Amino acid sequence: MSPSATPSRRYLIVSPVKDEVRHVERTLQSVTRQTTLPVRWIIVDDGSTDGTSAILARHAQAHPWIQVVSREQTGPRQPGSAVMNAFYHGLAQADGASYDYLVKLDCDVELEPDYFEALLLRFEREPKLGIASGVYLEEGSRGWSAVCMPGYHAAGASKFMRARCFDEIGGFVRERGWDTVDEVRAQVKGWTTKHFAELRFRHLKPEGSGIGSMRTHVMHGDVYYLTGGGVLFLLLKAAHRMATGTPRVVGGMAMLYGYLRSWVSGRRRLVDADEARHYRRLLNRRLLRLPAARPPGCDMNAAESR
């Protein structure tokens, strides 16, 4: 157990990482400086070839509660199944570690020193809180700004979950859209999911930079289909992306293409009928609240497709 962990505040971090030599040092430093440390941090080096492995080894030697697990090279980094396969590979190495909370943390983020302690306090105050995060900042032409997220969403780069909630929903699905399905399933089972606007962390690598903006737009359409989203919200989202996204017009069309491609192919959705209906109700409530629901200071153009 790490020095600051206590029985009521035991959390385990699992981090898939591949070729993050530009950012991983800052992530490592920000976690090792936390006011409440995890019981263990399992980092899965998913075939890095850029020097990431050496940085991980150095920090693991200095901090016995950091465990680095290496996997063979798996090709270019991909969102979705590859990330989840690496996550579960790491979770399997927990060796019976006792923990009350489970964190899926990316290695391209930078956290404030009290980030996890602040989340733990909020979970203690809300017994039905199942999944949460802070709000992430991304750097643009006007500096760092918060990325808009719907109120029920916790950032996939820093998913903090109650272990009992994780077990009840059957864990994460090993597909793109895992970070929407978990919240929908948790809510259907009576858990609360949210993010806390006052808790902020930096996302050092903007979303989509790993696979390119066009593939990201297509992926968002695909994910929207797989998670059971309705057509009206999709059309409005695509129209907004055509007007304000990068690149304009084409980005929205790419999102529609991703949705239609999955629909025509008859792909099996990741949610059942009840979960799909619940997700559509969440989206419809967002429509009723717009534009008043937009939090101040957030960057709509950087927002994820939810």
Residues 239 and 186 placed together within one structural domain of the fold: no
Best CA proximity match to 163, nearest among 181, 186, 180, 179: 186
Residues 33 and 81 placed together within one structural domain of the fold: yes
Best CA proximity match to 133, nearest among 205, 196, 202, 204: 196
**Per-residue pLDDT at 291 exceeds 60:** no
**Number of structural domains in the chain:** 2
**1 in any annotated domain:** no
Confidence of residue 76 (pLDDT cuts 50, 70, 90): low
Looking up tokens 């129209």 gives 239
pLDDT at 300: 45
Residues 102 and 224 placed together within one structural domain of the fold: no
pLDDT at 298: 56
Output the DSSP codes for 103-154. Answer: EEE-SSEE--TTHHHHHHHHHHH-TTEEEEEEEEEEEETTEEEEEP--TT--
Looking up tokens 């930079």 gives 209
| pTM of the complete model | 0.88
Residues 6+ apart with CB under 8 A from 266: none
Residues 34 and 166 placed together within one structural domain of the fold: yes
**2 in any annotated domain:** no
Lowest-pLDDT range, 30-39, 133-142, 281-290?
Answer: 281-290
User: How many other CB atoms sit within 10 Å of the CB of residue 148?
Assistant: 19
Which amino acid appears at position 298 of this protein?
C
Confidence of residue 287 (pLDDT cuts 50, 70, 90): confident
In the DSSP assignment, the letter for residue 295 is P
Angle, in degrees to the nearest 10, between helices 178-188 and 273-289: 100
Residues 283 and 188 placed together within one structural domain of the fold: no
What is the average per-residue pLDDT within 269-298? 78
Confidence of residue 224 (pLDDT cuts 50, 70, 90): very high
**Per-residue pLDDT at 121 exceeds 70:** yes
Residues 6+ apart with CB under 8 A from 175: 80, 81, 84, 181, 226, 270
Selected residue with higher pLDDT from 298 and 97? 97
What is the average per-residue pLDDT within 238-260? 87
- Burial state string for 158-182 with b = 16 or more CB within 10 A and e = fewer than 16: bbbbbbebbeebebbbebbbbbbbb
Share of the chain above pLDDT 90, in %: 70
**33 in any annotated domain:** yes
pLDDT digits 0-9 by tens, 20-46: 999 999 999 999 999 999 999 999 999
pLDDT at 301: 45
Alpha carbon distance 186, 178 (integer Å): 12
- To 10 degrees, the CA torsion angle through 68, 30, 150, 261? -40
Task: Indicate the residue among 203, 223, 241 that finishes a domain.
Answer: 203
Share of the chain above pLDDT 70, in %: 88
pLDDT at 113: 98
Task: Indicate the residue among 203, 238, 273 that finishes a domain.
Answer: 203
| Residues of the domain holding 74 | 7-203
